[in-house]
Amino acid sequence: MSDKSNPTKPADPQTSSHIPVRSLYTPADLEGWNQEQELSYPGEYPYTRGVQPTMFRGRLWTMRQYAGMGSAEESNKRYKYLLAHGTTGLSVAFDLPTQIGMDSDSPLAIGEVGKVGVAIDSIEDMQRLFDGIDLTNISTSMTINATASILLALYVAVAKRQGADIRKLSGTVQNDVLKEYVARGTYIFPIQPAMRIITDLFAWANENVPEWNTISISGYHMREAGSTAVQEVAFTLGNGMAYVQAAIDAGLDIDNFGPRLSFFFNAHSDFLEEVAKFRAARRMWAKIMRERFKAKNPRSWMLRFHAQTAGSTLTAQQPENNIVRTAVQAMAAVLGGTQSLHTNGYDEALALPTEQAARIALRTQQIVAYESGAPHTIDPLAGSYYIETLTNEVEKRANAYLEKIGAIGGMLKAIERGYVQQEIQNAAYEYQQKVDREEAIVVGVNRFTAEEEKPIPIQRIDETLERQQVERVREFRVRRDPKLCNEALKAVEEAARSGTNLMPNIVAAVEAHATVGEISDTMRKVFGEYREAVVI
């Protein structure tokens, strides 16, 4: 008979990164901590407390809502809806064919056109996407990687058609292909030519669109694939270091491109660890840029980041619970000092968000901004024995990962050998085991379930949109000047072979009415395609 009076002591709690959590933290936990350096004022190196001296007292974060569905016209309607309801920045989701450089009429695109984002094949599609939206008055983020150079070229070409001064354009292209090899899979080219395309974009943007963020180095997707918070910081900053080194090797001045680097992190559910994660990442990047790469411009030391709440935490069961999850995660991003934020729709475990879900997601940010009081003071959790201990511990453990990666030969070699992928897979497997054993509780899934759930309305994409988009791109090709287009594509091929900067030729190609797929295929001809190594 079991002794009910002396139950087994439960395991001590841990954060998502397996950092043990004690029941109480005291000043003794911070003995030896260099408070004067690490807890400097906001806007001062190493930026633990924020990259701006006034943070949200001076200006709130940009409230972005990630959206794109079906056709350019449908997406344009959603953007105008969001702008009318108070969003302050647009964030474009592209469909899978666009992400991997295939036109909508490619045989491999069948069934995917417009399904997880908007289909963009040509300059006319991009023009429809932003019809009636002044691109100089809005900041636009584009979640695009392998084809980032082409989509930025299309955006710039459309701005020119609007009569805009392209030097005044502001926004971001994600342009982070390394995490595609690790966690997401929308790559096209082998690693080395992909890195060359990225540094070409750095150099061209510095001269032509100086206010544009040329990369958003992304930990978000690695976290969605199952990484811990510590791994997210380590692998994201490791990728950042690889991009910086590639740009330096290409002859670029770190203080020319460094200030335009940006980051993209996940705002997950372990609330206090997430706050500590953002603070630690800022501090680490400042040290990396100043001490390792010898950047002199303080703006090069600043880790500016966008955050998105965690899609992987959203559940199809009891989807209304996702509103609460998103609110908790949004507050973590705000208290961690984000520069912009996207909040997920509560129905996204089931489909693209409805207008109602998108509005609730935006209202969540607005309630945090205007009702919670959280933005009233800068870094309000600073000095908490627990937060500072966690910040230090995340930094220490992330640096240990960076040392391992350095011993392998750097991030590119670590990715090629499958080390990073394996670490994330192991973390994801461990977490799923905890869920299965009910050691990790997911409300409504493995605890507090409901026998009957009322279905909620979901967004459905009109199946006729794919056929219309296929007809549209074919008709577009018929109307263009074939000689002008072919000459422009030939110039892209020659630039790819010669090593000259690709971006001016890609811009000229989209203006000559070459499609996303045609430009991508031209570069495929020169660079080939990446094939993932089998890790045993």
CB 144 within 8 A of CB 95: no
Residue 4 lies in a domain: no
Per-residue burial over 222-245, b = 16 or more CB atoms within 10 Å of its CB, e = otherwise: bbbbbbbbbbbbbbbbbbbbbbbb
CB 141 within 8 A of CB 171: yes
Q: Bridge partners of 212?
A: 171
Residue range 66-77: average pLDDT?
90
pLDDT at position 535: 55
Residue 18 lies in a domain: no
Q: How confident is the model at residue 118 (pLDDT cuts 50, 70, 90)?
A: very high
End-to-end CA distance of the chain: 46
* pLDDT tens-place string over residues 182-200: 999 999 999 999 999 999 9
Residue 17 lies in a domain: no
Give the count of domains, the chain.
2
Helix ranges (DSSP H) in 50-168 = 55-58, 72-84, 96-99, 123-129, 148-161
Q: Are residues 355 and 306 in the same domain?
A: yes
Is the pLDDT at 26 greater than 50? The verdict is: yes
* pLDDT tens-place string over residues 377-409: 999 999 999 999 999 999 999 999 999 999 999
Is the pLDDT at 7 greater than 50? The verdict is: no
SS (H, E, C) 31-49: CCCCHHHHCCCCCCCCCCC
Q: Which amino acid makes up residue 377?
A: T
Kindly list the distances between the CA atom of residue 395 and the CA atoms of 133, 203, 276, in Å, as whole numbers in the listed order.
Answer: 42, 31, 9
Domain hosting residue 490, numbered range:
476-527
Is the pLDDT at 3 greater than 70? The verdict is: no
Q: Are residues 389 and 520 in the same domain?
A: no
1 versus 15: the higher-pLDDT residue is 15
Task: List the CATH number of the domain containing 401.
Answer: 3.20.20.240
Q: Are residues 358 and 486 in the same domain?
A: no
Residue range 462-475: average pLDDT?
94
Burial of 258 (0-12, 13-18, 19+ CB in 10 A): buried
Q: Are residues 130 and 274 in the same domain?
A: yes
Tell me the HSE value of 236 on the side-chain side, using a 13 A CA sphere.
33
pLDDT at position 1: 36
CB 492 within 8 A of CB 506: yes
* pLDDT tens-place string over residues 326-339: 999 999 999 999 99
Is the pLDDT at 5 greater than 50? The verdict is: no
Is the pLDDT at 479 greater than 60? The verdict is: yes
Is the pLDDT at 70 greater than 50? The verdict is: yes
Task: Tell which of 436, 465, 491 closes a domain.
Answer: 436
Average pLDDT over the chain, rounded to an integer: 95
CB 155 within 8 A of CB 126: yes
* pLDDT tens-place string over residues 263-278: 999 999 999 999 999 9
CB 168 within 8 A of CB 210: no
Q: Are residues 112 and 204 in the same domain?
A: yes
Residue range 164-187: average pLDDT?
96
pLDDT at position 359: 96
Among residues 365, 258, 347, the alpha carbon closest in space to that of 308 is found at 365
Among residues 67, 57, 116, the alpha carbon closest in space to that of 361 is found at 67
CB 519 within 8 A of CB 104: no
Is the pLDDT at 50 greater than 70? The verdict is: yes
Is the pLDDT at 10 greater than 80? The verdict is: no
Q: DSSP for 214-262?
A: -EEEE-HHHHHTT--HHHHHHHHHHHHHHHHHHHHHTT--HHHHGGGEE
What is the rounded distance in angstroms from the CA atom of residue 404 to the CA atom of residue 194?
24
Q: Which two tokens stand for residue 129?
A: 């996407």
Residue 447 lies in a domain: no
Least confident of 68-82, 148-162, 389-403: 68-82
E-strand spans in 252-392? 261-267, 305-309, 340-342
Q: Are residues 267 and 416 in the same domain?
A: yes
Residue 492 lies in a domain: yes
Q: Are residues 393 and 511 in the same domain?
A: no
Place of tokens 């630690």: 280
CB 148 within 8 A of CB 142: yes
CB 438 within 8 A of CB 432: no
Is the pLDDT at 4 greater than 50? The verdict is: no
- Strands 89-93 and 62-67: what pairing? parallel
pLDDT at position 459: 86
Q: How confident is the model at residue 534 (pLDDT cuts 50, 70, 90)?
A: low
Q: What's the gap between Cα 258 and its chain centre?
A: 18
Q: Are residues 414 and 523 in the same domain?
A: no
Task: Tell which of 436, 451, 467 closes a domain.
Answer: 436
pLDDT at position 11: 65
Residue 256 lies in a domain: yes
Is the pLDDT at 8 greater than 50? The verdict is: no
Q: How confident is the model at residue 509 (pLDDT cuts 50, 70, 90)?
A: very high
CB 415 within 8 A of CB 409: no
Q: Bridge partners of 265?
A: 307
Q: Are residues 207 and 318 in the same domain?
A: yes
Q: Are residues 383 and 254 in the same domain?
A: yes
Task: Tell which of 410, 436, 462 closes a domain.
Answer: 436
Is the pLDDT at 45 greater than 60? The verdict is: yes
Residue range 503-524: average pLDDT?
98
Residue 19 lies in a domain: no
What is the rounded distance in angstroms from the CA atom of residue 448 to the CA atom of residue 318?
10
What is the rounded distance in angstroms from the CA atom of residue 435 to the CA atom of residue 427?
13
Least confident of 49-58, 363-372, 455-464, 491-500: 455-464
Is the pLDDT at 474 greater than 60? The verdict is: yes
What is the rounded distance in angstroms from the CA atom of residue 514 to the CA atom of residue 470?
15
What is the rounded distance in angstroms from the CA atom of residue 366 to the CA atom of residue 22?
34
Is the pLDDT at 116 greater than 80? The verdict is: yes
Residue range 166-189: average pLDDT?
96
* pLDDT tens-place string over residues 212-251: 999 999 999 999 999 999 999 999 999 999 999 999 999 9
Q: Are residues 207 and 100 in the same domain?
A: yes
Residue 8 lies in a domain: no
Q: Which two tokens stand for residue 410?
A: 């750097």
CB 89 within 8 A of CB 340: yes
What is the rounded distance in angstroms from the CA atom of residue 403 to the CA atom of residue 398?
9
Q: Are residues 39 and 122 in the same domain?
A: yes
